[in-house]
A and B are shown apart, each in its own frame.
Chain A
Amino acid sequence: MRFVLLLVLFAAGCGASAAEPAGYPDEVRSLYSAMKWPSDVRPDLEALIKATAPAQGEQGFARQALAVANTCAWYRSWDAAVTRGDKAQAATALDAIEHLVTRYPPEADTAGRQFVRDAAAKASSGDPALVRDYVDANCFDTRWA
């Protein structure tokens, strides 16, 4: 339920482009604040803003960049927790992987929706292969705080 509420807040923030006169950095900070992050893995927000900032006059990919960073954060958190035998953190991360991350890919991305479901199922059975693939493909150069 908490995840659903956070997603509603996240989506509401995304649609308010007319109310974002402060520009891309503030848009990213605002969206970031509305999202749930693992306690042990968070992106370096200023580095993320710098890496994803659009050119002058362009609309940025703030929502998409944060959805990917959030997915990577929960995947990394789960993988690290399993590796060090932290069952509580692993369970928290797996819950997010199954119920939060699976909501990010849009309807048009059927392959992506299937991917996050497959990654959740494999993680649930202890297999980190897809989780690691995703992090390597999308967040290999992400700076973490």
Chain B
Amino acid sequence: MKKTFLVAVGIIGALVATAVPASASESGLSGNLRKGEWVNYGTQRTVTVGGSNIYVRKTDGPEIDVKWRRCSGGAEGSAVRLQNADPTPYVRIGSGFRASTVFCLSAKSYGSNSTDTWNGNVRWNVS
């Protein structure tokens, strides 16, 4: 009985820890990479929750830097490193966005190959 209770608590705890709010947005990422050079990805995404953040994780690929850029130019975030070991945790790459901001993503490889690919996920409209 006690064991069942502990398992149930563990499951609930895991669900809470990984839950994404209903307002959150998430999509898969897949992109080409160049060693030491930024590659800009053409999929635009829109922040609809004011003050929210953007998180990225890598599920496959070499060590990379990732950053957000306003698609219309004029603003971009600092580079955030995602290590080689996959999957990485979700790492915050930007915070406190104004609602309606349209952002794009860029990545740079630190792997051994001159060109490579990576896969991952991006979450936005989350605290």
Measured CB to CB, the residues of A under 8 A from B are 14, 48, 51-52, 54-55, 57-61, 63-65, 67-69, 72, 104-106, 108-112, 114-115, 130, 133-134, 136-139, 141-142
Can you list, as one digit per residue, whether each of B88-102 has a CB less than 8 Å from chain A (1) or not (0)? 000000000011111
Q: Which of A48, A55, A65, A134 contacts B71 (CB 8 A)?
A: A65
Q: Which residue of A lies closest to B29 (CB)?
A: A108
B46 within 8 A of A: yes
Chain A residues, Cβ within 8 Å of B39: 58-59
Given contacts A60-B40, A72-B72, A139-B72, 17 further A-B contacts (CB under 8 A): A48-B73, A51-B74, A58-B37, A59-B40, A61-B42, A61-B104, A64-B42, A64-B71, A104-B44, A106-B44, A111-B48, A133-B99, A137-B100, A137-B101, A138-B71, A138-B72, A141-B74
Measured CB to CB, the residues of B under 8 A from A are 25, 27-28, 37-40, 42-48, 69-74, 98-102, 104, 124-125
How many cross-chain pairs have Cβ atoms below 8 Å apart between A and B?
95
**Cross-chain contact A51 with B73 (CB below 8 angstroms):** yes
- State A136–B47 Cα separation when bound (angstroms): 13
**Cross-chain contact B40 with A68 (CB below 8 angstroms):** no
- State A63–B43 Cα separation when bound (angstroms): 10
Q: Which of B37, B71, B98, B124 has the most CB of A within 10 A?
A: B71
Chain B residues, Cβ within 8 Å of A138: 70-72, 100-102
Chain B residues, Cβ within 8 Å of A68: 44, 71-72, 102
**Cross-chain contact A115 with B46 (CB below 8 angstroms):** yes
**Cross-chain contact B46 with A111 (CB below 8 angstroms):** yes
- State A22–B73 Cα separation when bound (angstroms): 21
Chain B residues, Cβ within 8 Å of A130: 100
Q: Min CB distance, B76 to chain A, in Å?
A: 11
Q: Which of B73, B74, B102 contacts A112 (CB 8 A)?
A: B102
Chain A residues, Cβ within 8 Å of B44: 64, 67-68, 104-106, 109, 112
